[in-house]
């Protein structure tokens, strides 16, 4: 079946909406609806092929269908993703590689949407955009292609009446829309689950069946549909995301249903350039996000960004379309499938999954193969060689005596090696004397102070860390009270969150009176628009205003409360790091001249940012201890 040019126009529009959504989100905040339009088109086109083949021969060759789908999807997918993975090895931060490999593997097997549906990303995995984040839609499409042919053949076998077929499909679409509305608050579920996406394909399928009936085409409805589709791609603030999904699919359906070929429509909806973009849209979709990702990682914003990205994406897409997509589409695959081959294929599949699990999911310290691979990657990675990226930015490098605290000291950590006091040995730095014991308890905003704390208190004092999801929840008061009987002085160290000051008295009541509490205050929070790690990689100066942060977090009121509470309690101490990190109104998160990176993200210090506090904290420590 030859694709109709107006369908290629709709493909082109869809992929361009997604492209501008990723490059100009301030103007195309709803450009993600391009994917929903893709789903409608796919349902329309696949249904037409199944229907026409069955109508012609009164049968359907499932084998040929799946072979064609394999040739259409996987050669370009494997080539492009593999090429991107090679670039990732050399030019992307190494700490993101494991996540990339996992998504790559799931995408190759058509399951990336399932991976995203059930994955729980750590906070620090979200500092950068996901380079393979767009592959979820391919998983949904492949799952639809796998299941739909059998369903549709059964439909046309058992329901002969055209109107009843349309009514059956309409019922499924209606159920899908109702479920999407009902579960609309669970954004992750309705975004990635095929259950909440298949109705979009079925809507396209229903539209094709309707085109087999005689009806009057309305140019007015067609024009309204395409105009409305473009309007809702620009954020006008009237609709929620799930409503945009419903509206965009309906608009795309009306476009397909009422398109009427005339001189005007040919000029705008069938011109060669737009059809060309539609032809290469699959490769375009696969290439566009990684290209945007690396541009944003290494280059600053300028007026040439959009033209450069668009040109490069079109160029690479054309090459892939010409030499990969078209070549494999016309290649005959002579596959003589038998039981032995099926067993062999599934054995290879199982072996690959086991290998990914063994090498990828295990920690490098438990896996020599992964450790050797990791060492090799560090040697070839540009960022590691150029700016020592991981040691300067990766939060998990924070350690006690060489033991990474996020490996051993989280409440959820699996391996625990306890001492006689039921303290995890790897989380304890035993002091030379039993005079003073610092018990550090809190979340990541407490952990970021560990480098400076360890430096200042020295080897004479003991230091222990326990990482919680919330600095004030589940503090082990019994353990701290027990330690106070064995040490002359025990100090609980935790982070004092703005807005959580009322909990100070609660903590004090649960501890023995002789135990000191050292509360460490907040560091400057920078605007979300500033990504410190990108500033570091690009070697550009990035700054923020102290006054903006003070107003946003109401820090003036916070410090007033601090003065009142801590002036009345001798055993409660407060250290304020804010003005050391940001001593003037205009402060730098990174400066090419100073070469100091203070923040890893909008609210966490790097190790070197933490060590900036050393001299000031030493003065505080000598005065108070």
Over the stretch 258-280, which tens digit does the pLDDT of each residue have? 988 776 777 788 888 999 999 99
**pLDDT score of 361:** 52
Backbone phi, then psi, for 404, in 5-degree steps? Answer: -65, 120
User: For the chain, what is the total number of helices (H) and then of strands (E)?
Assistant: 31, 10
Query: What's the rounded Cα separation, in Å, for the pair 546 and 286?
Result: 41
Q: CB burial class (10 A; 0-12, 13-18, 19+) of residue 152? A: buried
Structure tokens of 11?
């493909």
**pLDDT score of 3:** 65
Query: What's the rounded Cα separation, in Å, for the pair 205 and 253?
Result: 10
Kindly state the greatest CA–CA separation across the chain: 92
**pLDDT score of 600:** 94
**pLDDT score of 539:** 95
* pLDDT tens figures, 52-89: 999 998 899 998 999 999 999 999 999 999 999 999 99
Query: What's the rounded Cα separation, in Å, for the pair 280 and 233?
Result: 22
**pLDDT score of 337:** 56
Give the pTM.
0.89
Start-to-end CA span in the chain (Å): 82
* 8 Å CB contact between 566 and 624: no
**pLDDT score of 551:** 93
* 8 Å CB contact between 49 and 258: no
**pLDDT score of 316:** 98
**pLDDT score of 477:** 84
Output the CA torsion sign for 195, 197, 203, 205.
negative
Structure tokens of 202?
């079925």
Query: What's the rounded Cα separation, in Å, for the pair 390 and 18?
Result: 32
With a cut of 50, list the residues of the chain below it in pLDDT: none
Structure tokens of 501?
């000051």
- Please choose, from the candidates 218, 213, 217, 244, the residue with its C-alpha nearest in 3D space to the C-alpha of residue 231: 244
Backbone phi, then psi, for 135, in 5-degree steps? Answer: -75, -10
Structure tokens of 97?
């590689």
Backbone phi, then psi, for 600, in 5-degree steps? Answer: -85, -40
547 conformational bin, left if phi > 0, alpha if psi -120 to 50, beta if neither: alpha
Query: What's the rounded Cα separation, in Å, for the pair 436 and 179?
Result: 59
Angle at CA of residue 253, ends 248 and 255, nearest 5° = 95
**pLDDT score of 359:** 61
């Amino acid at each position: 079946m030859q694709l109709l040019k107006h369908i290629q126009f709709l493909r082109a529009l869809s992929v361009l909406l997604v492209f501008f959504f990723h490059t100009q989100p301030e103007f195309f905040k709803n450009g993600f609806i391009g994917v929903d339009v893709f789903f409608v088109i796919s349902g329309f086109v696949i249904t037409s092929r199944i229907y026409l083949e069955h109508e012609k021969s009164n049968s359907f060759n499932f084998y040929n269908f799946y072979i064609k789908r394999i040739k259409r999807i996987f050669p370009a997918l494997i080539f492009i993703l593999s090429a991107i993975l090679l670039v990732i090895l050399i030019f992307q931060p190494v700490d993101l590689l494991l996540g990339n490999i996992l998504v790559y593997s799931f995408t190759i097997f058509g399951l990336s949407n399932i991976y995203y549906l059930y994955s729980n990303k750590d906070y620090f995995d979200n500092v950068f955009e996901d380079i393979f984040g767009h592959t979820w839609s391919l998983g949904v499409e492949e799952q639809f292609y796998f299941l739909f042919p059998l369903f549709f053949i059964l439909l046309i076998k058992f329901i002969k009446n055209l109107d009843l077929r349309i009514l059956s499909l309409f019922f499924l679409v209606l159920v899908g829309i109702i479920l999407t509305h009902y579960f609309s608050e669970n954004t992750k579920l309705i975004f990635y689950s095929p259950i909440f996406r298949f109705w979009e394909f079925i809507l396209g399928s229903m539209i094709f069946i309707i085109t087999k009936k005689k009806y009057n085409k309305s140019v007015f409805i067609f024009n309204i549909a395409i105009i409305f589709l473009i309007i809702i791609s620009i954020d006008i603030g009237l609709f929620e995301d799930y409503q945009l999904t419903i509206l965009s699919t309906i608009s795309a359906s009306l476009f397909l249903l009422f398109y009427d070929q005339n001189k005007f429509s040919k000029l705008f909806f069938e011109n060669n350039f737009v059809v060309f973009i539609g032809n290469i849209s699959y490769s375009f979709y696969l290439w566009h996000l990684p290209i945007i990702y690396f541009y944003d990682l290494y280059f600053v914003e300028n007026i040439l960004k959009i033209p450069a990205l668009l040109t490069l994406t079109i160029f690479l897409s054309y090459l892939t379309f010409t030499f990969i997509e078209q070549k494999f589409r016309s290649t005959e695959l002579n596959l003589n499938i038998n039981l032995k081959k099926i067993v062999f294929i599934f054995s290879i599949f199982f072996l690959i999954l086991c290998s990914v699990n063994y090498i990828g999911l295990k920690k490098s310290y438990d896996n020599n193969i992964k450790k050797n691979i990791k060492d090799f990657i560090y040697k070839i990675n540009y960022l590691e060689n150029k700016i020592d990226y991981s040691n300067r930015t990766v939060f998990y490098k924070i350690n006690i005596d060489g033991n990474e605290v996020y490996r051993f000291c989280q409440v959820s950590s699996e391996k625990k090696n306890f001492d006689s006091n039921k303290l995890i040995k790897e989380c304890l730095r035993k002091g030379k004397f039993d005079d003073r014991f610092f018990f550090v308890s809190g979340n990541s905003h407490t952990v970021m102070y560990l480098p400076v704390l360890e430096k200042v208190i020295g080897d004479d004092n003991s230091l222990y860390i326990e990482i919680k999801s919330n600095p004030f929840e589940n503090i082990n008061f019994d353990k701290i009270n027990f330690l106070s009987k064995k040490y002359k002085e025990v100090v609980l160290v935790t982070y004092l969150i703005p807005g959580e000051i009322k909990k100070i008295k609660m903590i004090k009541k649960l501890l023995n009176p002789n135990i000191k509490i050292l509360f460490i205050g907040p560091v400057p929070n920078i605007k979300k628009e500033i990504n410190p790690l990108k500033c570091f990689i690009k070697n550009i100066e990035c700054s923020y205003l102290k006054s903006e942060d003070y107003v946003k977090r109401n820090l003036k009121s916070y410090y007033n409360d601090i003065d009142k509470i801590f002036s009345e309690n001798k055993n409660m101490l407060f250290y304020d790091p804010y003005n050391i990190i940001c001593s003037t109104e205009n402060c730098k998160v990174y400066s090419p001249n100073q070469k100091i990176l203070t923040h890893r993200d909008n609210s966490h210090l790097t190790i070197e940012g933490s060590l900036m506090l050393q001299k000031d904290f030493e003065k505080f420590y000598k005065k108070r201890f």
